[in-house]
Chains A and B, each alone.
Chain A
């Protein structure tokens, strides 16, 4: 049908010109597009997967989760475009402000936050519920990038220069621990470690910091952690110990993943999640749904896409002309990478379950927005 084709062609060219306008390609190189494109592909796969994971079979329709996720994805893309138009200078100037704002939100959560699943990590604004810990991650990347870019090059971090970034990291981490969000606070450590390592740090210092952190961790395990958090750790170290909690989740996850075999059961045909065996199947355990329905083939393809997405991000760092831009790119890539590793490692039984979401796949407005915000920063770092 010629008129239809014509409409399609016209729509495509309109989109193209809009995209060119938004991305300002005159000032970007081609690898910058790939970050956005891979992110978009992952987001679309994630949306399809979430639709299946939350599909209500009794009613024969999608759950409200899907619509909300779609809305936040679109909102996130808008945020990404907006941030990508900022110059690095803007980011550099505003990063302390953003960091301070995220700290303030974390404090606010402690004071007036809403409780959910045992952790106090939600800020109810009436029309929307925010999870400040997610934005804090981006804030930490920005402030650490700024600090490290000011240090002289060719010089590893020493006892004096590591104090400031350590404090910058410990502040939000402590606030998040106080919200009982163990997963996120560990995550802050991963971001801190990534950026500091990439900058370079004396090995002896690493040893000291790791020992100190382990000690703090051990002490907090004894005195500060809630029983369910202890359970999660113990259940990972010794699956026999815990009969009713996380060990059970893990077995259900393993059965779902394994029963997908090579090509999977087919879209919307997963058994475990439909029968509600899989716990938290729209957040922590969203990836086993994909693995069950698409099998090893689908899983490996998704991992490949993730790898390409991450490498495109690293490419931005490699081509960066400023240290600030470099750290931003590495930090943002680290953000996605550690999310992927910790979430998948958890649901596949490699590491303890920590409740870390999988970007583009897990349901959650705040984490989606934070992710697209990070991609916006990446794209901004690619500008010259």
Chain B
């Protein structure tokens, strides 16, 4: 067997010393490396291990901007600096405070008081000494904190740090407050939920949307916080980073991701107009594009200043807007429920015609200023009566008697059934929170609620939108949209597009439109005709006749019954003015609902606001369109000229 080559071993055995030397050589190299690290560089690495810390600081991500539908910025994120002291790192408290006050021109006693107040907090928790500090003072402090400054004596700033937090700034606070909402520190329960769905996106103390689109689009706007690694000594002071430390620093650092931009459906001009006209009044305006449910205006008065309650909260202001009876935080556009009053007559008319209970040509009722039902007399708003009233006149002049009679024919339940088609009595599904559903009574509802039979006399009040009927301004706008678009119930929404921080389209918000039983019906066409009659015929809102956009509408005046007196006429105040409208009649592009609390007549106060909002919307649209056309023309000219002189290098393109 070839296994035994005893005589051939000499050549191999000669190599053994070399192999041993090779092994020895490499092991000595390893030992030398150990010697270098552990003996020669030992002190350095020991200091890295015991005296140097990599401190991780949160970099709060910049929240995305919010713009109107034309890209006009209405909410931004601004830098906000705080000067803090971390008790753990302070060497000599009095000395540091003295130095700090000298540089920042602060009261020593005030600073000491702040430190005292925090003495039971953990020592690593920063104490805010000065909030919202300007750039100049921040720069001063930063200079003293830089690693090349020697510590000690009058330059002792141990424990002082500057914190940068991006803070939301609402550019038109009162105007958009209710549509945009505000930010608040995330509470424990929602934090737990958020932790489950997005484990690495939230941390305690984060500012999160509390209302409006800030809440609805919080995840899009938020971005992702990063971490800044800082190499510090035992006193918390940043040290000059060596090669090794740079690696550690970079390992700990993670850049934040900015939040996306939210382009809302709101129209800046129209919203601004609503705000201007509501000066000193309470109420709400909602405008919707009836074709797709885009909310063009969502305004509620009084507004509030979200800047004052988002960071560095103004306590007195917060108390005021929370507790004052004006209800500043109350978003009347979606939360307030008013009787729809005469605007509700469109429901009765649609139901009556659709069910064939009235003939638009032949049916008529006569109005003598009221209707005696049982032993009660139900008045028409026009004391003298309307005389002979056909359906068109009934709607145009809003004759109560006509709708009392129609209501009796319909009955409360069939009326409610049609009201639901218009979107009443249920939430519209707008994406912002706290929407109210309103109330449209049925006999069943009354049975349940009051354990009482429905009285037919109650149908009379319900038919003209009083008594139990309650709707929100948003619902009214959806109902007006339904008439405008020929029977489709839109789901209103405030988000148009999500854009990346660089302005690229990330997501388009979907629009929703539901077909209803009334889609394309003759009944609805008749209601539409009635609504143009209100403005352009012998109606209740002929004031708007001269508006260039051919507005169709319906007025309403809601009697105010004080709450708690259960329907009995108590301390009634001035009535609420309502108006719903859409324009232009032939190709509706905007549907508006206005309510002015205690504004008396719908035609007197509410209709002009609707008209102005519609004007503002189309003005802006025109301007935007003109801009685009001009631009196209310029480009077109330029390209034509270039084509004509393809080789001419010196050719100048005229700038228009």
A and B bind: yes
Residues of chain A whose beta carbon lies under 8 Å from any beta carbon of chain B: 88-89, 92, 149-150, 152-154, 198-200, 239-240, 243-244, 247-248, 250-252, 254-262, 271-272, 291, 295-296, 299-300, 303, 306-307, 310-311, 314, 317-318, 320-324, 326, 330, 333, 337, 340-341, 344-345, 348-350
**Shortest Cβ distance from residue B56 to the other chain A in the assembled complex, whole angstroms:** 14
B33 at the interface (CB under 8 A from A): yes
CB atoms of B38 and A295 under 8 A apart: yes
Q: A149-B5, A311-B20 are in contact. Are A243 and B250 (CB under 8 A)?
A: yes
CB atoms of B42 and A262 under 8 A apart: yes
- In the bound complex, what is the Cα–Cα distance between A348 and B37 (angstroms)? 9
Name the contact of A322 in the complex, choosing from B5, B45, B250 (C-beta under 8 A).
B5
Q: A92-B1, A323-B5 are in contact. List 13 more A-B contacts (CB 8 A).
A: A248-B250, A255-B45, A258-B42, A259-B48, A261-B46, A296-B38, A300-B31, A320-B9, A321-B9, A323-B8, A323-B12, A326-B9, A348-B34
B-chain residues with CB within 8 Å of residue A344 when the two chains form the complex: 30, 33
B309 at the interface (CB under 8 A from A): no
B50 at the interface (CB under 8 A from A): yes
B-chain residues with CB within 8 Å of residue A149 when the two chains form the complex: 2-3, 5
**Shortest Cβ distance from residue A97 to the other chain B in the assembled complex, whole angstroms:** 16
CB atoms of A323 and B9 under 8 A apart: yes
CB atoms of B20 and A251 under 8 A apart: no
Chosen A-B contacts, 14 in total, with CB atoms closer than 8 Å, are: A153-B11, A248-B247, A254-B45, A255-B48, A257-B34, A261-B38, A303-B27, A303-B31, A307-B23, A321-B9, A322-B6, A326-B13, A337-B23, A349-B33
A-contact 0/1 string along B585-626, CB 8 Å cutoff: 000000000000000000000000000000000000000000
B26 at the interface (CB under 8 A from A): yes
B-chain residues with CB within 8 Å of residue A247 when the two chains form the complex: 247
- In the bound complex, what is the Cα–Cα distance between A254 and B45 (angstroms)? 8
CB atoms of A89 and B3 under 8 A apart: yes
**Shortest Cβ distance from residue B471 to the other chain A in the assembled complex, whole angstroms:** 57
- In the bound complex, what is the Cα–Cα distance between A211 and B246 (angstroms)? 37
Q: Which of A311, A323, A333 has the most CB of B within 10 A?
A: A323
Residues of chain B whose beta carbon lies under 8 Å from any beta carbon of chain A: 1-6, 8-9, 11-13, 15-16, 19-20, 23-24, 26-27, 29-31, 33-35, 37-39, 41-46, 48-50, 243-244, 246-248, 250-251, 253
- In the bound complex, what is the Cα–Cα distance between A299 and B33 (angstroms)? 11
Name the contact of A243 in the complex, choosing from B3, B8, B251 (C-beta under 8 A).
B251
A-chain residues with CB within 8 Å of residue B253 when the two chains form the complex: 243
Q: A149-B5, A307-B23 are in contact. Are A255 and B13 (CB under 8 A)?
A: no
- Which chain B residue shows the least CB distance to A326? B12
**Nearest 5 pairs between A and B by C-beta?**
A258-B45, A153-B8, A261-B42, A259-B49, A296-B38
**Shortest Cβ distance from residue B247 to the other chain A in the assembled complex, whole angstroms:** 5
- In the bound complex, what is the Cα–Cα distance between A153 and B9 (angstroms)? 8
**Shortest Cβ distance from residue B608 to the other chain A in the assembled complex, whole angstroms:** 63
Number of cross-chain contacts by CB at 8 Å: 153
**Shortest Cβ distance from residue A299 to the other chain B in the assembled complex, whole angstroms:** 5
A-chain residues with CB within 8 Å of residue B3 when the two chains form the complex: 88-89, 92, 149, 322, 324
A-chain residues with CB within 8 Å of residue B12 when the two chains form the complex: 153, 198-199, 317, 323, 326
**Shortest Cβ distance from residue A366 to the other chain B in the assembled complex, whole angstroms:** 25
CB atoms of B35 and A296 under 8 A apart: yes
CB atoms of B13 and A318 under 8 A apart: yes
A-chain residues with CB within 8 Å of residue B43 when the two chains form the complex: 261
Q: Which of A255, A271, A295, A321 has the most CB of B within 10 A?
A: A255
Name the contact of B39 in the complex, choosing from A296, A314, A318, A324 (C-beta under 8 A).
A296
CB atoms of B41 and A310 under 8 A apart: no
- In the bound complex, what is the Cα–Cα distance between A299 and B39 (angstroms)? 12
- Chain B interface, >50% SS class: helix
CB atoms of B244 and A251 under 8 A apart: yes
Q: A257-B34, A311-B20, A348-B34 are in contact. Are A306 and B45 (CB under 8 A)?
A: no
- Which chain B residue shows the least CB distance to A317? B16
Q: A255-B48, A299-B34, A341-B30 are in contact. Are A239 and B247 (CB under 8 A)?
A: yes
- In the bound complex, what is the Cα–Cα distance between A154 and B7 (angstroms)? 11
- In the bound complex, what is the Cα–Cα distance between A31 and B246 (angstroms)? 50
CB atoms of B8 and A348 under 8 A apart: no
- Which chain A residue shows the least CB distance to B38? A296
Name the contact of A314 in the complex, choosing from B2, B23, B34 (C-beta under 8 A).
B23
- In the bound complex, what is the Cα–Cα distance between A341 and B22 (angstroms)? 12
CB atoms of B38 and A198 under 8 A apart: no
A-chain residues with CB within 8 Å of residue B13 when the two chains form the complex: 318, 326
A-chain residues with CB within 8 Å of residue B31 when the two chains form the complex: 299-300, 303
A-chain residues with CB within 8 Å of residue B29 when the two chains form the complex: 350
CB atoms of A258 and B30 under 8 A apart: no
CB atoms of A243 and B48 under 8 A apart: no
A-chain residues with CB within 8 Å of residue B244 when the two chains form the complex: 251, 254-255
A-chain residues with CB within 8 Å of residue B49 when the two chains form the complex: 255-256, 258-259, 271-272
CB atoms of A296 and B34 under 8 A apart: yes
- In the bound complex, what is the Cα–Cα distance between A370 and B49 (angstroms)? 36
B-chain residues with CB within 8 Å of residue A349 when the two chains form the complex: 33
- In the bound complex, what is the Cα–Cα distance between A243 and B6 (angstroms)? 57
**Shortest Cβ distance from residue A199 to the other chain B in the assembled complex, whole angstroms:** 8
CB atoms of A321 and B45 under 8 A apart: no
CB atoms of B2 and A150 under 8 A apart: yes
Name the contact of A311 in the complex, choosing from B23, B34, B44, B248 (C-beta under 8 A).
B23
B-chain residues with CB within 8 Å of residue A154 when the two chains form the complex: 8, 11
CB atoms of A259 and B6 under 8 A apart: no
- In the bound complex, what is the Cα–Cα distance between A269 and B112 (angstroms)? 41
**Shortest Cβ distance from residue B37 to the other chain A in the assembled complex, whole angstroms:** 5
- In the bound complex, what is the Cα–Cα distance between A259 and B44 (angstroms)? 8
**Shortest Cβ distance from residue B16 to the other chain A in the assembled complex, whole angstroms:** 4
- In the bound complex, what is the Cα–Cα distance between A252 and B49 (angstroms)? 9
A-chain residues with CB within 8 Å of residue B11 when the two chains form the complex: 153-154, 200
CB atoms of B38 and A262 under 8 A apart: yes
B-chain residues with CB within 8 Å of residue A311 when the two chains form the complex: 20, 23
- In the bound complex, what is the Cα–Cα distance between A322 and B11 (angstroms)? 12
A-chain residues with CB within 8 Å of residue B8 when the two chains form the complex: 152-154, 323
B-chain residues with CB within 8 Å of residue A321 when the two chains form the complex: 4, 6, 9
- In the bound complex, what is the Cα–Cα distance between A279 and B172 (angstroms)? 52
**Shortest Cβ distance from residue A113 to the other chain B in the assembled complex, whole angstroms:** 31
**Shortest Cβ distance from residue B273 to the other chain A in the assembled complex, whole angstroms:** 53
A-chain residues with CB within 8 Å of residue B34 when the two chains form the complex: 257, 291, 296, 299-300, 303, 348
- In the bound complex, what is the Cα–Cα distance between A162 and B372 (angstroms)? 119
B-chain residues with CB within 8 Å of residue A262 when the two chains form the complex: 38-39, 42
Q: Which of B11, B27, B44, B48 has the most CB of A within 10 A?
A: B27
CB atoms of A348 and B5 under 8 A apart: no
A-chain residues with CB within 8 Å of residue B4 when the two chains form the complex: 321-322
- In the bound complex, what is the Cα–Cα distance between A258 and B31 (angstroms)? 13
- Which chain A residue shows the least CB distance to B15? A198
B-chain residues with CB within 8 Å of residue A254 when the two chains form the complex: 37, 45, 244
